[in-house]
Amino acid sequence: MASPFLGTIVRLDWDALWVRTWAMRQQKTRIALNGFGRIGRSILRILRGTDLPFELVLINDIQPLYTASYLFEYDSVFGRYQGDVRYENGALILDGEAIPFYHTDDLSTLDLSGVDVVLECTGLAGNRAIATRGIEAGATAVLISGPSTTADKTIVLGANDQELGDARIVSNASCTTNALAPLLRVLDKAYGVESGHMTTVHCYTGSQPTVDKPGADFARSRAAGLSMVPTTTSAQRLTDEVLPHLAGRIEARAIRVPTVSVSAIDLTVQTRASVTADAVRTHLKECATGPIIGWTEQPLVSSDLRMRPESLVLVGPELSVSVGGLLRVFGWYDNEWGFSMRMLELAARMANR
């Protein structure tokens, strides 16, 4: 029986041509995973649960193989992997398929000849020397799973993907930027964004301690599971980068909350054109497009959005316009799963240039 929730999501493509081309490709995109943490394991779970046209050539991570196998099979957020997980002879074996697993802290020492894209998920590629190691090893391109000032380009699908060009080292920005920037692009194109403020209500992450611990940021040094923590977000700087015509117009802050997955953005903007809630709701619903933005009318809570593939799922009833004309838009995003989907889609785009 079809889920009534899924029926509320509008699935139109605003970049239908490349999505269709990617899905119909006969030759698989050959990728290597460097880093097997939250994003690396999410990417592998997506690959194992779908028929997306990728070939995973190898995984590299300094953690022991038995640890990697355990953490992949038993996941506190996504649940136990519904298949057979083993390891032997330097390989992670999933459902009988062996994936070579290496343990070098220098990716350039591996042979990556024939790899289309290295998915750089170590969190260390803010350093240009580290970011280029996949290229040195023989891969065609590197896609970084986070902000990186050393990347040739920062690309957010649905926001500035037309600027990809022939960049070989690309940053996929941040999960929050992937949620915010496509929405701003739609609103600016339709109504003109004069200024705005975004607050991301973000689940806690591995950058926060489980108990109070000394740190330079006093608020971020507090126990992640016990308090709401006001803090900063890289989304403001990255949105300025991917949508430069809006640079300086959008302020952004974060509140880390004691939940383990799924986050939200609460965006308020002043538009140049006058708007009504009904008109904006109708327009955004029509623009809510399959792989990037989804739509729901349901009274959902964060756990309902776990493992959603979109960068952002807008909530229709939460949209409002104040007497003074301020537009407020609210949406959910699975900051691990949705971001990992964009990693794969952008990797395919890079390989198919």
Q: Looking at the annotation, which residues are catalytic?
A: 175
**17 CB contacts (<8 Å, ≥6 apart)?**
none
DSSP tag of 163: G
Q: H or E stretch including 340?
A: helix 337-351
> Under a CB-based contact definition with an 8 Å cutoff, are residues 101 and 59 in contact?
yes
Closest of 251, 291, 298, 292 to residue 270, by C-alpha: 251
How far is Cα 146 from Cα 181, in angstroms, rounded to an integer?
A: 15
How far is Cα 319 from Cα 246, in angstroms, rounded to an integer?
A: 22
> Under a CB-based contact definition with an 8 Å cutoff, are residues 110 and 58 in contact?
yes
Q: H helices of 141-276, where?
A: 175-191, 235-242
Give the DSSP letter string of 56-123: EEEEE-SS-HHHHHHHHHEETTTEE-SS-EEEETTEEEETTEEEEEE--S-GGGS--TT-SEEEE-SS
DSSP tag of 28: P
**198 CB contacts (<8 Å, ≥6 apart)?**
180, 235, 236, 250, 251, 252, 253, 265, 266, 267, 268
